């Protein structure tokens, strides 16, 4: 099966994860896909193939050299984002993209345009995979899975490329922050690994946000509005007060690069009770802790203003910046850079304005930076994948493996 064909097949599986189910994997479609992948890996002749009850799939390409070489791993996630449907994905290939608007659905006026997405212009002349405008594509991270599997097939078919033991790991629920939670690092047995889960060609990432989630619950007091003076507490209005007390210019829409933010991701309410859900992000650990403290201070201030505890806070850390775990083993980054260059790709080291399974895995003892998978505009209908990006990502994996012996 060719690389592109493999990727397109993978997109046919509905693997959208869910934060609501409370089980692993969070949706049954992920296990369906995992079982398909297991059968594919068995058919391809890989070894030590194991799919556990939580949907984590591991496999091995055995070493073909007696030279002592560290075991390295490549990891990608099977789920797609809850932000948009991944059911009945209908990918289409735009051949030799000419720089103009790409009409995804003429009847509904859904258009992928370089005026809104100027990164399209970096891929003029290339074949591009797009959606039909009604689902995401799923290159995040089915492109990563296809690249890893295809690279292992390539290495199997080219025994003249000597390599050590290579491990593959495919996991559920990365998009809801749980991908690494039940990943068995000891069983994986690698000195280090790479997630194939980045975006544009050449991206190499070993810094990410420190991350926390905050849920603020506000209890109101409902009284007949005709007799409410000095009695009613409208929880929705208090929620508005809370939002106004956070820095207005420190949101995702106002920040870039290493700047952190408070991001309101959900709200619901009526007079009696309202809830606000935030994610808190910062690359700098001290600033991250200060942001959490700010939220605690605002909750305390609200309660002080109303003279009673009407606001409560649930605050939990989600993951941390992997940089502190990668810096002591920078040869892992040097190898990735060398692999990219050998594949004809110029490395672009950047910080992730988000998270990755690699961050949590690094803190579990598996140093695991992130390499580009090639797609762009993840999590929505305007997602697209330049086919040369897909091919170069696959060859980057091959070259990393090849160079790890030298």
- Both 214 and 150 in a single domain? no
Give me the number of domains the chain comprises. 2
| Residue position matching structure tokens 């940089």 | 323
pLDDT digits (tens, 9 = 90+) for 151-166: 999 999 999 999 999 9
Alpha-carbon distance of 34 to 144, in angstroms, equals 14
Surface-to-core class of residue 163, CB atoms within 10 Å of its CB (0-12 exposed, 13-18 middle, 19+ buried): buried
- Both 293 and 334 in a single domain? no
pTM over 0.95: no
From 262, 285, 319, the end of a domain falls on 319
- Both 159 and 224 in a single domain? no
Is beta strand 166-171 parallel, antiparallel or unpaired with respect to 72-77? parallel
Alpha-carbon distance of 244 to 240, in angstroms, equals 6
- Both 132 and 16 in a single domain? yes
> At 221, which CATH number?
3.30.70.360
- Determine which helix (DSSP H) or strand (DSSP E) holds 379, and give its type and residue range: none
- Both 246 and 197 in a single domain? no
- Both 166 and 245 in a single domain? no
- Both 291 and 146 in a single domain? no
- Both 294 and 373 in a single domain? no
Measured at the CA of 168, the angle between CA 165 and CA 172, to 5 degrees, comes to: 160
Q: Which residues are catalytic, by number?
A: 79, 174
Angstrom CA distances, 74 to 172, 285, 290, stand at 15, 28, 35
The predicted structure's pLDDT at residue 384: 97
Residues of the chain with pLDDT under 70: 1
- Determine which helix (DSSP H) or strand (DSSP E) holds 397, and give its type and residue range: helix 387-403
Of the candidates 91, 354, 399, 50, the residue with the CA atom closest to the CA atom of residue 208 = 354
From 284, 319, 354, the end of a domain falls on 319
Angstrom CA distances, 360 to 20, 71, 85, 212, 370, stand at 21, 20, 26, 13, 12
Question: Are 396 and 224 in contact, with CB atoms under 8 Å apart?
Answer: no
- Both 35 and 134 in a single domain? yes
> At 344, which CATH number?
3.40.630.10
**Structural domain of 278:** 210-319
- Both 241 and 271 in a single domain? yes
- Both 298 and 156 in a single domain? no
Indicate the DSSP class of residue 311: E
What's the gap between Cα 232 and its chain centre? Answer: 43
Task: Supply 199's token pair.
Answer: 């975006």
pLDDT digits (tens, 9 = 90+) for 46-95: 999 999 999 999 999 999 999 999 999 999 999 999 999 999 999 999 99
From 303, 319, 335, the end of a domain falls on 319
Question: Are 190 and 72 in contact, with CB atoms under 8 Å apart?
Answer: yes
- Both 181 and 245 in a single domain? no
| Crossing angle between the packed helical segments 139-157 and 28-43, to the nearest 10 degrees | 10
Question: Are 53 and 391 in contact, with CB atoms under 8 Å apart?
Answer: no
């Amino acid at each position: 099966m060719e690389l592109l064909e493999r990727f397109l097949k993978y997109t046919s599986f509905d693997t959208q994860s869910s934060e609501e189910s409370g089980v692993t994997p969070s949706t049954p479609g992920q296990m369906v896909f995992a079982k398909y992948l297991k059968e594919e890996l068995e058919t391809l002749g890989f070894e030590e193939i194991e799919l556990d009850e939580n949907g984590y799939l591991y496999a091995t390409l055995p070493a073909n050299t007696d030279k002592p070489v560290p075991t390295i791993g490549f990891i990608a996630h099977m789920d797609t984002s809850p932000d948009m449907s991944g059911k009945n994905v209908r990918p289409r290939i735009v051949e030799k993209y000419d720089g103009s608007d790409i009409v995804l659905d003429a009847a509904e006026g859904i258009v992928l345009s370089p005026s809104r997405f100027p990164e399209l212009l970096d891929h003029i002349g290339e074949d591009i995979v797009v959606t039909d405008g009604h689902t995401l594509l799923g290159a995040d991270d089915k492109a990563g899975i296809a690249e890893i599997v295809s690279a292992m097939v390539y290495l199997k078919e080219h025994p003249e490329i000597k390599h050590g033991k290579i491990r593959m790991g495919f996991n559920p629920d990365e998009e809801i922050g749980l991908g690494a939670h039940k990943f068995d690092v000891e069983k994986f047995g690698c000195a280090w690994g790479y997630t194939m889960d980045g975006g544009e060609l050449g991206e190499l990432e070993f810094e990410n946000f420190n991350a926390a989630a905050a849920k603020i619950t506000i209890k109101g007091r409902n009284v007949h509005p005709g007799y409410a003076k000095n009695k009613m507490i409208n929880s929705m209005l208090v929620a508005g007060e809370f939002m106004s007390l956070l820095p207005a210019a420190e949101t995702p829409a106002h920040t870039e690069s290493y700047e952190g933010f408070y991001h309101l991701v959900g709200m619901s309410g009526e007079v009696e009770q309202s809830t606000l859900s935030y994610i808190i992000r910062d690359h700098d650990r001290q600033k991250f802790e200060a942001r959490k403290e700010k939220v605690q201070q605002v909750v305390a201030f609200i309660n002080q203003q109303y003279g009673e505890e009407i606001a409560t806070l649930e605050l939990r850390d989600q993951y941390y910046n992997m940089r502190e775990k990668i810096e002591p083993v920078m040869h892992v980054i040097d190898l990735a850079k060398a692999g990219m260059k050998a594949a004809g790709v110029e490395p672009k080291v950047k910080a992730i304005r988000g998270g990755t399974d690699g961050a949590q895995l690094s803190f579990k003892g598996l140093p695991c930076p992130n390499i580009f998978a090639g797609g762009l505009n993840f999590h929505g209908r305007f997602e697209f994948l330049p086919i040369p990006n897909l091919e170069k990502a696959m060859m980057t994996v091959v070259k990393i493996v090849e160079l790890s012996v030298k």
